[in-house]
């Protein structure tokens, strides 16, 4: 695999730094590194979806575009329920996994329950924003998702996240339900709620920290509905 895992973070840095060379349309000024994050909410009946908004000390031409995109992506969790609020109780909160001048990586988690359903669902999804370009970053943008990548995961060459309820063995059991080709396709479709209800639907999401890439995969309800593991430069 020629050390692709070791180069992931170099690739991320190169991609983001290249966008800093000149300001892209709709992006954040590369000279403006000072911003804070405040929480706002989408509230409708028994539905509450919390999401972050970036606030700059000085006016920034890209701020509104980025904030609108973050809000829109946060609300797409409603697609799990066909955008219907009838009988739905939904609580979503977020954590920031990476916040700097190049990237904002947001991890959403919560519980959704539809009246009459057998059990609530534990939900997990992410939004990764390239602040310099003003667009979204998906796993396939920074990682070459191919047979080598899939086979490393099947072989268990990853570290479990502390938040995971499922065990590594349970994640491997889930991964081995699919062929290598199916896994490749699922990971290529990661990080999107746009395809819910289609043959391209994927319950795989990624997030970024200072030194690793986190990946969430779907598991059984008994083991939490989702589980996270980490890929670092040594994996």
pLDDT at 33: 62
What pLDDT score was predicted for residue 146? 96
Provide the pLDDT for residue 11: 41
Residue 158 sits at φ, ψ, to 5 deg, of -155, 165
- Burial track 187-214 (b if 16+ CB lie within 10 A, e otherwise): bbbbbbbeebeeeeebbbbbbbeeebbb
Q: Please report the pLDDT score of residue 28 as a whole number.
A: 52
pLDDT one digit per residue (tens) for the chain, 235 residues: 434 444 444 444 444 444 443 334 455 544 456 789 999 999 999 999 999 999 987 777 888 999 999 999 999 999 888 888 889 999 999 999 999 988 999 999 999 999 998 889 899 999 999 998 999 999 999 999 999 999 999 999 998 888 777 789 988 988 998 999 999 999 999 999 998 767 777 889 999 998 899 999 887 776 767 889 998 755 5
Q: Is the Cβ–Cβ distance between 144 and 128 less than 8 Å?
A: no
> How is residue 133 annotated by DSSP?
T
Measured distance CA(177)–CA(233) in Å, rounded: 27
Backbone angles phi, psi at 27, to 5 degrees: -90, 175
The angle that helices 147-154 and 180-188 make with each other, rounded to 10 degrees, is 110
User: What are 81's two structure tokens?
Assistant: 């329920």
Q: Which residues, other chains included, contact 59 with Cβ-Cβ below 8 Å and sequence gap of 6+?
A: none
**What pLDDT score does 59 carry?**
75
Distance of CA 102 to the CA centre of its chain: 16
């Amino acid at each position: 695999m020629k050390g692709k895992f070791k180069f992931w973070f170099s690739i991320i840095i190169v991609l983001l730094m290249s966008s800093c060379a000149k300001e892209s349309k709709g992006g954040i000024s590369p000279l403006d590194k000072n911003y804070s994050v405040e929480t706002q909410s989408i509230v409708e009946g028994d539905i509450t979806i919390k999401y972050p908004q970036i606030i700059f000390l000085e006016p920034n031409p890209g701020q509104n575009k980025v904030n609108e995109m973050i809000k829109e992506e946060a609300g797409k969790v409603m697609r799990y329920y066909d955008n219907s609020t009838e009988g739905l109780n939904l609580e979503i909160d977020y954590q920031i996994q990476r916040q700097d001048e190049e990237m904002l990586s947001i991890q959403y988690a919560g519980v959704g329950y539809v009246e009459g359903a057998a059990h609530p669902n534990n939900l997990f999804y992410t939004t990764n924003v390239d602040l310099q370009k003003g667009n979204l970053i998906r796993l396939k943008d920074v990682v070459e998702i191919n047979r080598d990548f899939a086979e490393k995961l099947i072989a268990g060459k990853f570290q479990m996240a502390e938040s995971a309820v499922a065990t590594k063995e349970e994640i491997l059991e889930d991964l081995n339900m699919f062929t290598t080709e199916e896994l490749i396709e699922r990971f290529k479709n990661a990080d999107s709620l746009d395809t819910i209800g289609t043959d391209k639907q994927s319950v795989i999401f990624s997030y970024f920290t200072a030194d690793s890439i986190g990946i969430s995969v779907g598991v059984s309800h008994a083991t939490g509905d989702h589980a996270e593991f980490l890929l670092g430069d040594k994996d």
